[in-house]
Structure 1
Amino acid sequence: MPNEVEPTDEEQVSTIGPIVSVLALVTLGICYAGGWEVGFLVSSVVVISILIWQACDPFADAAQWIGQRFELPGSVRGATLDAVASSMPELFSGLFFVIVALTSVDPGDPKALEAAGAEGYASTIATCAGSAVYNMILIPAFCALVISFYRQSRPTIDIDDEVITRDGVWFVGCNLVLVVFLFQDAVTWWMAVVLLGLYAVYVYHLFHDAQVYRVKVRAIQRHLEKVGEDATDVTVIEAVKAEGYRVSRVTAIRSIDAHAEGELGIEEEEQTRTAGVFFGMFDVPLNGRSAWAIIVCSTLVSALACYFLVESTYQAAEVLSVPAFFVAVIIAAAASSVPDTLLAIGAAMRGDDSGAVSNAFGSNIFDICVCLSIPLLVNSYLLGWEPVSLLQDGHPASGLVGLRVLLVVLTISTLGIMWHKRQLTRTKALVLCGSYVLFIAYAVLGSLGLLDF
């Protein structure tokens, strides 16, 4: 009997995707026909999240092609083009929350405009902050759970120190700056400029690290080729130190082992030649014209999907008689994080454990520094550059106080879990999922008025 060829991961995804989409559309139709408004809104969000996923997938391929074409370092491309690809939903959702809120009131009524601006930007904060919590907790957890079953030979997510000491620390720093801003009674345009400036420094840091990494690798290569089998971790450290840099003993030992196996060097990426569309079933050849055409089309589709996501969020808040803030922090945040989740799981399944986690951190930094800043600038402009209030009836916006505290607590606790043995196991993944359940419980209890912060 001939051996059967097992389907690849891509083929499985291309099969599962359409099936899930059909089920979501069928559920949407049943809820609509049955007049079940809540079910219709929830299934609408599922369909919208699938549409966002399919818009971001070809965008990511085209962005990677453009980055390779201009020879951008992988770390810089990841923090810019890849981050835009995965964070487009948060950016557009934030913009539409602000625009929809401000255009729904009388432009000649200053008090109504101020209240609408506060409500719209509070929903933007909820979406981006909720997405940050989702990315920080659930994406690493999902990756660890998938790998614990998928990769039996090494069923854990192993994290490089650099991911935590660089990306993790940057995320904590940006988070603290955001929390300081959110403890004010109002946010202003210059705060957006500060956050955008922080992001520019972060990108420069990544670029500098990429250059230093190349220098270190070349120095180690020259030393190992010269010394050969007589090389030790001490001699490697001294050789790199002579170039003005430092490497750890662990890195030196790994470099010697990699050189012995012929794997030490700067890996050349495989050129991205096509963009997968419609669950990867079809490939579009990439060139100068097609890449930019895909960028434009994907952006328009994502923007349209995010507009309906915002409308669904407001409708769900109205149907459930709860503040839009709490609906945004759960539904809009989760729906907009679908691309990040799938990209990270794909990276982990390819063996890039650190890349899966660092992509989540990089996306979070982009969410905080860019996806909150641009809507704030738009909001400030539409209000005549007046400050955007974070108060409602003289008190902090509903849910904002608790969100500020939870952001700090969950960030520090998650980094602590990752730092322990620099590894994520199935048990740790379940603990992370439990912490996200607590976050959801906060949002639900807050929406019911059982928590007064």
Structure 2
Amino acid sequence: MGLLGNFAILAFVSVVIKYACDTFEQSAVYLGRNMSEGVKGGLINAVGSSLPEMLTTFSLLFFLHDEAGFAAGISVTVGSAVFNAIVIPLACILAVRFYGVRGKSVTSFTISKTALKRDGFWLLFGEGVLIFMLIKFELFHWWMGLALIVVYLGYLVHMLKSGSHDGEDDYEFESLESSNILTALITFDFNKVLFSDKPLSKFSAWVNLFCATVIIAISCHFLSISVVGIADGLNIPVYLSALVFAAAATSVPDTFLSIKDAVKGQYDDAVSNAFGSNTFDITVALGLPLLVYGLIYGTVPMPEGTDIAALRVLLVVITLAVLLMFYIPKKVTGYTASGLAVLFAIWVGFLIWASQMGGFTL
């Protein structure tokens, strides 16, 4: 299959993942209806929208079956994390400014500093643990994947202690609005196909969740194949292809989900989804595939060179910059959007330079 064919697969599976994640999110919102704002965004929404990163990492690691697969998996989480940290908040600011909240343009809004500190701490802590492993060890052992998952469990406990409330009265079932059964099949609206679009119950929510996960898993397998094919076609390292193309494709659900929260006025959920997704990517989306791989096949060689460790350090710098943009000002404004746009332009310029160099080191 040629380069254009692989790009066509990439575009197709991106659309499939987006629709499957819509169904996943519909059920996840129902199951997390009793959680407070911020907690729901950072936990339920973040986990749901981060499934593509985890399943793509699984596929790349087991498909390539070597350190190249490890490097590609790390690159997916890095690229997605940068996209989440910069593009998603930027898209949310532009959405409420030009589309509006309930029909009214919003030029500035506030977010919870407490939630920002919580999400920022665990994100940076997870990054620090992973960077330490990459620098300190020559082989990745199964227990390192477990250690990353334990970091997420700490975040999970902190999230749940942040508070929940009986929000079931505030929950309102939202149909995916498929016009007919054929459209529902094409867009993976399982609630319409299987349950005639009736309001969700625990049973139907879990069934829909499972079906959506299967579709996402299959899509991510083909996504990993296209990433390898694009790398071969462009004659660049697989990790660089994953950093750009797989990361963008797997971040589509996070973006749409955060924008939907933002235009509803749920700003804490919109921002927490971005940072919570990153924490999940760094710990579980990377740690679980490596844990399973390590238990089955043994150790995984660390990627050669300093490129991958450099990527993680660069991500920490970007994360700190974004956190400061949100934490220091009292409100999120157009100036915040401008700062994010500049940061993203620097990132894109860096990627263009890296692709021309065939890699990079710091």
TM-score bucket of the superposed structures, by smaller chain: 0.7 to 0.9
Correspondence for 1:187: 140
**Distance in 2, Cα, partners of 1:59 & 1:309:** 19
Secondary structure at the residue paired with 1:423? coil
Which residue type is aligned with residue 353 of structure 1?
Y
Q: Do the aligned partners of 2:236 and 2:358 also contact (CA within 8 Å) in 1?
A: no
Q: Do the aligned partners of 2:254 and 2:274 also contact (CA within 8 Å) in 1?
A: yes
Kindly indicate whether residue 13 of structure 2 is the aligned counterpart of residue 60 of structure 1: no
* Counterpart pick for 1:437 among 328, 345, 352: 345
Correspondence for 2:335: 427
CA 1:202–1:405 in structure 2 vs 1: closer, same or farther (change >3 Å)? closer
**Distance in 2, Cα, partners of 1:411 & 1:97:** 25
Correspondence for 1:373: 287
Secondary structure at the residue paired with 2:162? helix
CA displacement, residues 63-118 of structure 1 (integer Å, 9 cap, x when unaligned): 232344xx56666554544333111101110000011112xxxxxxxxxxxxx2x1
Q: Do the aligned partners of 2:96 and 2:105 also contact (CA within 8 Å) in 1?
A: no
- Segment drifting more, 415-424 vs 269-278: 269-278
Kindly indicate whether residue 303 of structure 2 is the aligned counterpart of residue 391 of structure 1: yes
**Distance in 2, Cα, partners of 1:269 & 1:176:** 40
**Distance in 2, Cα, partners of 1:153 & 1:309:** 37
TM-score, structure 1 as length reference: 0.70
Correspondence for 1:127: 76
Which residue type is aligned with residue 209 of structure 1?
S
How many percent identity over aligned positions? Answer: 31
Correspondence for 1:164: 116
CA 1:141–1:321 in structure 2 vs 1: closer, same or farther (change >3 Å)? same
Q: Do the aligned partners of 1:63 and 1:85 also contact (CA within 8 Å) in 2?
A: yes
Which residue type is aligned with residue 63 of structure 1?
A
**Distance in 2, Cα, partners of 1:434 & 1:96:** 33
Secondary structure at the residue paired with 1:421? coil
* Counterpart pick for 1:336 among 250, 254, 272: 250
Q: Do the aligned partners of 1:417 and 1:428 also contact (CA within 8 Å) in 2?
A: yes
Which residue type is aligned with residue 328 of structure 1?
A
Which residue type is aligned with residue 145 of structure 2?
A
* Counterpart pick for 1:447 among 349, 352, 355: 355
CA 1:155–1:79 in structure 2 vs 1: closer, same or farther (change >3 Å)? closer
Q: How far 1:342 moved relative to its partner?
A: 0.4
Which residue type is aligned with residue 170 of structure 2?
E
Correspondence for 2:97: 148
Kindly indicate whether residue 129 of structure 2 is the aligned counterpart of residue 202 of structure 1: no
Secondary structure at the residue paired with 2:197? strand
Which residue type is aligned with residue 158 of structure 2?
H
**Distance in 1, Cα, partners of 2:350 & 2:170:** 45
Correspondence for 1:417: 325
TM-score, structure 2 as length reference: 0.86
- Segment drifting more, 275-284 vs 181-190: 275-284
**Distance in 2, Cα, partners of 1:275 & 1:177:** 41
In our comparison, the structure showing a higher alpha carbon Rg is 1
Which residue type is aligned with residue 290 of structure 1?
S
Q: How far 1:337 moved relative to its partner?
A: 0.7
Q: How far 1:176 moved relative to its partner?
A: 1.7
CA displacement, residues 314-333 of structure 1 (integer Å, 9 cap, x when unaligned): 00000001001011011101
**Distance in 1, Cα, partners of 2:11 & 2:73:** 20
Q: How far 1:62 moved relative to its partner?
A: 1.5
* Counterpart pick for 1:284 among 191, 197, 217: 197
Which residue type is aligned with residue 352 of structure 1?
Q
Secondary structure at the residue paired with 1:427? helix
CA 1:145–1:280 in structure 2 vs 1: closer, same or farther (change >3 Å)? farther
**Distance in 1, Cα, partners of 2:253 & 2:115:** 20
CA 1:81–1:160 in structure 2 vs 1: closer, same or farther (change >3 Å)? closer
**Distance in 1, Cα, partners of 2:35 & 2:269:** 17
Which residue type is aligned with residue 94 of structure 2?
L
Q: How far 1:51 moved relative to its partner?
A: 0.5
CA displacement, residues 242-279 of structure 1 (integer Å, 9 cap, x when unaligned): xxxxxxxxxxxxxxxxxxxxxxxx76553354652656
Which residue type is aligned with residue 319 of structure 1?
G
CA displacement, residues 261-316 of structure 1 (integer Å, 9 cap, x when unaligned): xxxxx765533546526569867222344322212211111111111110110000
How many aligned residue pairs are there?
343
**Distance in 2, Cα, partners of 1:79 & 1:144:** 18
Correspondence for 1:402: 310
CA displacement, residues 31-78 of structure 1 (integer Å, 9 cap, x when unaligned): xxxx9x44443343222111101101111112232344xx56666554
Which residue type is aligned with residue 210 of structure 2?
V
Q: How far 1:173 moved relative to its partner?
A: 1.7
CA 1:82–1:451 in structure 2 vs 1: closer, same or farther (change >3 Å)? closer
Q: How far 1:190 moved relative to its partner?
A: 1.6
Secondary structure at the residue paired with 2:27? helix
1:244-323 pair list within 5 angstroms: 269-273=169-173, 276=176, 278=184, 284-285=197-198, 286-323=200-237
**Distance in 2, Cα, partners of 1:162 & 1:40:** 46
**Distance in 1, Cα, partners of 2:238 & 2:330:** 38
Which residue type is aligned with residue 390 of structure 1?
M
Q: How far 1:206 moved relative to its partner?
A: 1.6
Secondary structure at the residue paired with 1:424? coil
**Distance in 2, Cα, partners of 1:141 & 1:425:** 10
* Counterpart pick for 2:129 among 160, 163, 177: 177
Correspondence for 2:181: none
CA root-mean-square deviation: 2.5
**Distance in 1, Cα, partners of 2:188 & 2:225:** 29
Correspondence for 1:89: 52
**Distance in 2, Cα, partners of 1:328 & 1:340:** 17
Which residue type is aligned with residue 54 of structure 1?
Y
